[in-house]
């Protein structure tokens, strides 16, 4: 019997099937016509974006793989949090594929690039939709392996080195996750998240379950690049081609790291004092260490990568606070970060494409030569620094207010200080790259190709509008996502019925 | 209890190889050891002394079958994770080969072109 509030959605497997199908069709289609990978790649991400937007505001839906109902079969669940992540992944993926059309021309074998890109999207969509622990691990590996290969896509010495480092860390993380899944299965005899949550809720946390929780914390923490597990990120993210950097920083660390960690700790284990304290400590550490390492950087993409660590710290802090406002702030910042960070990485790609360098000191005066890129770069820089009225300001404000309300004054102070340091760091970016006197390299540059501009404008519009659209976003996207984490018990009855 | 201790010990051996060795090939072997530690752990979860294969043939009593057969699910999980492991190791070795072409060495401490 179908319970109230959860309806069947036959379209849910398409979120994995479309990119997976595209991934394997593209290498064949390129033999028909050289341009087909571009078209198929963009059409699939566009259809994913449209499909994910149709899920917004519809309430939770589900799909049973092969018709087997949970706890026996694998189920896909699109609840508020999953829908938010689906929208974020699809939005950034669409902008990145649009950007890739002109940008990836200088690499050979564009079809393989799209193929790996689509595999990564399929893996991420699977991770956010699945309601089964082992299925989560499989999709996590699909997305991760595609991303290892994409980081090394240029096959230059530095890229290979970064990819190897990333891959070793990633493999260790995946092994921890699989070990955790095994421990959970050994102790409870089930892999379904809702069923697991029910059993753990009834029997309490045993030492073995705590061991599994620690393994997941290490595994997903490594994927999310939380300090002290962050060492791979500043190498891997800048080494990838710009659209991939945008995907990695914009959505991969969120869906594989933060989302999975939140899903497992809130829904499966049930949030408890020790776990939320660990969340807050990791978040605070990441915020401080990330921003301090970022301030001294002169490589544009490396600087952005360090800021990803620091901004993910805000999300972790918000989630760790555990209050309705804190979680709302964390979820909102997750949405905002994906908009401004992918915009920043795409800007760096556009600049690298035209000026040919990533060194801040070799740029300068770009606003005259590249008005579209410069405008979006400035907008996203102001967003990440938390300048009103751009989106980053609102989510940081919510997190800081929530921290004060929960009487975590130290956390609130850290959040304020880090916001100022971020502003300092991005003032440097704007001062050297966009304004200031032109360096020799940037005397004769021209605006980036039109399609790159369209992707940049789209993301810059998101940065500007998300903050102002907050009254619209809250009931449609953010509220349902917050409720999922706040009322973990609802998930059990939603999926298992009764 | 034994599978847990055993798998943790083997996992730590693999991690030691990843952290302490400087030869890239040995690091890859370390990754393989950690993967097989977990595979072995999964198999041991379903192990039952004197168990029968989890294949239900005609004429078997269902209750008796359930009481005697080993747990088939961990075996399915292990097969999946072995396949994933194969892909991971193949990609890692391919990366090591390309790194050797570029740097002319397999020593990790000499492959340091990226700055902190």
Which among A141, A149, A163 has the least Cβ separation from residue B84? A141
CB-based contacts of A405-408 (< 8 A; 24+ apart in sequence): A405/A323, A405/A325, A406/A321, A406/A322, A406/A323, A406/A326, A408/A280, A408/A321
Contacts of B73 in chain A (CB under 8 A): 185, 191
For residue A484, which of A200, A265, A199 has the smallest C-alpha distance? A265
| Chain A residues 192-251 with CB within 8 Å of chain B | 208, 211, 234-235, 239
- Comparing CB atoms, the residue among A162, A179, A186 nearest residue B114 is A162
In a domain, B7, yes or no: yes
A with B: how many residue pairs have Cβ under 8 Å apart?
Answer: 95
Can you tell me the distance from the alpha carbon of A376 to that of A346, in angstroms, rounded to the nearest whole number? 10
Q: Domains in chain B: how many in total? A: 1
ipTM reported for the complex, 2 dp: 0.95
Of B7, B24, B103, the CB nearest to A157: B103
Q: Which two tokens stand for residue A321?
A: 């606070």
- The answer to whether the beta carbons of residues B38 and A179 sit under 8 Å apart is yes
| Interface contact B92-A167, CB threshold 8 A | yes
Length of chain B, in residues: 116
Q: B15 to chain A: which residues are within 8 Å by CB?
A: 172
Residue B8 lies in a domain: yes
Q: Which residues contact B27 (CB under 8 A, 6 or more apart)?
A: A168, B17, B18, B21, B108
- Cross-chain Cβ contact A134/B45 below 8 Å: no
The closest alpha carbon to B46, from B15, B73, B19, belongs to: B73
Instruction: Give chain A's residues under pLDDT 70.
Output: 1-5, 441-442, 498
Cβ contact B80–A155 (<8 Å) = no
Q: Which of B3, B46, B81 should we substitute to test contact with A (largest number of A Cβ atoms within 10 Å)? A: B81
Do A459 and A339 form a contact (C-beta atoms < 8 A)?
Answer: yes
pLDDT at site A175: 96
With beta carbons under 8 A apart, name residues in chain B contacting A134. Answer: 77, 80
Q: Is A120 exposed, middle or buried (0-12, 13-18, 19+ CB in 10 A)?
A: buried
For residue A498, the model assigns a pLDDT of 55
pLDDT in tens, A395-427: 999 999 999 999 999 999 999 999 999 999 999
* Closest residue of chain A to B103, computed from CA coordinates: A157
Question: What is the 3 state secondary structure string of chain A?
Answer: CCCCCCEECCCCCHHHHHHHHHHHHHHHHCCCCCCHHHHHHHHHHHHHHHHHHHHCCCCCEEEEHHHCCCCCCCEEEECHHHHHHHHHHHHHHHHHHHHHHHHHHHCCCHHHHHHHHHHHHHHHHHHHHECEHHHHHHHHHHHHHHHHHHHCCCCCHHHHHHHHHHHHHHHHHHHHHHHHHHHHHHHHCCCEHHHHHHHHHHHCCCHHHHHHHHHHHHHHHHHHCCCCCCCCHHHHHHHCCHHHHHHHHHHHHHHHHHHHHHHHHHHHCCCCHHHHHHHHHHHHHHHHHHHHHHHCCCEHHHHHHHHHHHHHHHHHHHHHHCCHHHHHHHHHHHHHHHHHHHHHHHHHHHHHHHHCCCEHHHCCCHHHHCHHHHHHHHHHHHHHHCCCCCHHHHHHHHHHHHHHHCCCHHHHHHHHHHHHHHHHHHHHHHHHHHCCCCCHHHCCCCCCCHHHHHHHHHHHHHHHHHHHCHHHHHHHHHHHHHHHHHCHHHHHHHHHCC
Question: CB contact, 8 Å: A172 with chain B?
Answer: yes
Contacts of A141 in chain B (CB under 8 A): 84, 88
**Closest partner CB to A160 (pick from B34, B38, B102):** B102
Give the residue among A235, A226, A119 at the shortest CA–CA distance from A167. Answer: A235
Cα distance between residue B9 and residue A497, in whole Å:
41
Beta carbons of B91 and A149 less than 8 Å apart: yes
Rg (CA), chain B: 20
Interface test with B, best of A172, A180, A210, A235 (most B CBs within 10 A): A172
Which residue numbers of B have CB closer than 8 Å to A's CBs? Answer: 3-4, 7, 11, 14-15, 18, 24, 27, 31, 34-35, 37-38, 41-42, 45, 73-74, 77, 80-81, 84, 87-88, 91-92, 95-96, 98-99, 102-103, 111-114, 116
Average pLDDT value for chain B: 90
C-beta atoms of A138 and B80 within 8 A: yes
* Residues in chain A closer than 8 A to B33 (CB atoms): none
- Asked if residues A41 and A100 have their Cβ atoms less than 8 Å apart, the reply is yes
CATH number at residue B64: 1.10.287.3510
Three-state DSSP state, B56: coil
Report yes or no: A419 and A385 within 8 Å, Cβ to Cβ.
Answer: yes
Total-model pTM: 0.94
Q: Do A167 and B95 touch (CB under 8 A)?
A: yes
- Percentage of chain B modeled with pLDDT above 70: 98
DSSP structure class, residue B69? B
Min CA distance, B60 vs chain A (Å)? 22
* CA-based nearest distance A152→chain B, Å: 8
Query: Is residue B54 included in any domain, yes or no?
Result: yes
Q: Which of B42, B88, B114 sits opposite A161 (nearest CB)?
A: B114
Tokens of A60: 């939770």
Q: A119 touching B, CB under 8 A?
A: no
pLDDT per position as a tens digit, B88-109:
999 999 999 999 999 999 988 8
Q: Are A491 and A484 in contact (CB under 8 A)?
A: yes
Q: Which two tokens stand for residue A2?
A: 């179908």
Q: Which residue of A has its CA nearest to B46?
A: A186
Decide if pLDDT at B50 tops 90: no
Top residue of A126, A159, A161 to mutate, by most chain B CBs within 10 Å, is A161
The confidence score (pLDDT) of residue A57 equals 84
Which residues in chain B are closer than 8 Å to A116, comparing Cβ atoms? none
Among B7, B31, B113, the residue with its CB nearest the CB of A179 is B7
Report d(CA A86, CA B76) in Å as an integer.
29
- A160/B95 Cβ within 8 A: yes
Spatial contact of A453 and A361, defined as CB atoms under 8 Å apart? no
Note down the domain range covering B16: 2-110
B27 within domain boundaries: yes
């Amino acid at each position: 019997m179908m319970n109230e509030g959860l309806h069947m959605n036959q379209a849910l497997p398409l979120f994995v099937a479309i990119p997976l199908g595209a991934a394997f069709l593209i290498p064949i289609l390129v033999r028909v016509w050289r341009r087909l990978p571009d078209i198929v790649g963009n059409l699939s991400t566009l259809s994913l974006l449209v499909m994910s937007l149709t899920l917004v505001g519809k309430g939770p839906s589900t799909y049973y793989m092969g018709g087997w109902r949970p706890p026996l079969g694998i189920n896909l669940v699109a609840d508020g949090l999953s829908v938010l992540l689906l929208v974020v992944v699809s939005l950034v993926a669409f902008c990145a594929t649009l950007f890739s059309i002109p940008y990836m021309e200088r690499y050979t074998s564009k079809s393989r690039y799209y193929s790996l890109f689509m595999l990564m999207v399929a893996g991420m969509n699977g991770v956010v939709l699945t309601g089964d622990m082992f299925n989560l691990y499989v999709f996590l590996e699909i997305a991760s392996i595609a991303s290892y290969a994409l980081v090394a896509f240029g096959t230059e010495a530095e890229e290979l080195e970064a990819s190897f480092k990333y891959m070793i860390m990633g493999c260790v993380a995946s092994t921890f996750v699989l070990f955790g899944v095994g421990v959970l299965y050994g102790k409870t005899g089930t892999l379904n998240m809702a069923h697991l949550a029910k059993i753990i809720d009834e029997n309490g946390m045993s030492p073995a379950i705590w061991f599994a929780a620690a393994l997941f914390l290490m595994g997903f923490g490594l994927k999310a690049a939380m300090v002290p597990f962050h060492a791979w990120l500043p190498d891997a993210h800048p080494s990838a081609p710009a659209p991939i950097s945008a995907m990695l920083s914009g959505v991969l660390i969120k869906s594989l790291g933060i989302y999975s960690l939140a899903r497992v700790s809130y829904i499966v284990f049930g949030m408890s004092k020790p776990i939320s304290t660990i969340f807050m400590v990791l978040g605070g550490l990441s915020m401080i260490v990330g921003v301090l390492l970022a301030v001294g950087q002169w490589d544009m993409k490396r600087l952005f990568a360090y800021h990803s660590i620091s901004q993910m710290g805000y999300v972790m802090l918000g989630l760790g606070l555990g209050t309705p406002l804190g979680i709302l702030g964390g979820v909102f910042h997750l949405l905002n970060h994906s908009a401004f960070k992918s915009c920043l990485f795409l800007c760096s790609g556009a600049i690298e494409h035209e000026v040919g360098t990533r060194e801040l000191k070799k740029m300068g005066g770009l606003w005259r030569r590249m008005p579209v890129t410069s405008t979006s770069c400035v907008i996203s820089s102001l967003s990440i620094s938390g300048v009103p009225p751009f989106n980053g300001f609102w989510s940081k404000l919510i997190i800081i207010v929530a921290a004060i309300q929960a009487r975590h004054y130290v956390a609130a102070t850290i959040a304020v200080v880090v916001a100022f340091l971020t502003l300092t760091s991005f003032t440097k970016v704007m001062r050297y790259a966009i304004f200031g006197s032109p360096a020799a390299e940037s005397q004769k540059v021209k605006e980036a190709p039109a399609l790159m501009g369209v992707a940049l404008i789209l993301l810059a519009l998101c940065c500007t509008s998300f903050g102002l659209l907050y009254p619209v976003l809250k009931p449609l996207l953010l509220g349902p996502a917050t409720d999922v984490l706040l009322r973990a018990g609802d998930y059990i009855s939603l999926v298992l019925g009764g | 209890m034994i599978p847990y201790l055993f798998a943790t010990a083997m996992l730590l051996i693999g991690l030691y190889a990843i952290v302490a060795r400087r030869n890239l090939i040995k690091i890859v072997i370390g990754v393989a050891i950690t993967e097989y530690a977990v595979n072995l752990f999964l198999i041991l979860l379903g192990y039952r002394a004197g168990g029968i294969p989890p294949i239900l043939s005609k004429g078997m009593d269902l209750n008796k079958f359930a009481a005697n057969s080993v747990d088939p699910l961990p075996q399915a999980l292990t097969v999946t994770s072995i396949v994933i492991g194969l892909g991971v190791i193949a990609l890692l070795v391919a990366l090591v080969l390309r790194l050797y072409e570029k740097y002319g060495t397999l020593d990790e401490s000499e492959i340091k072109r990226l700055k902190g």
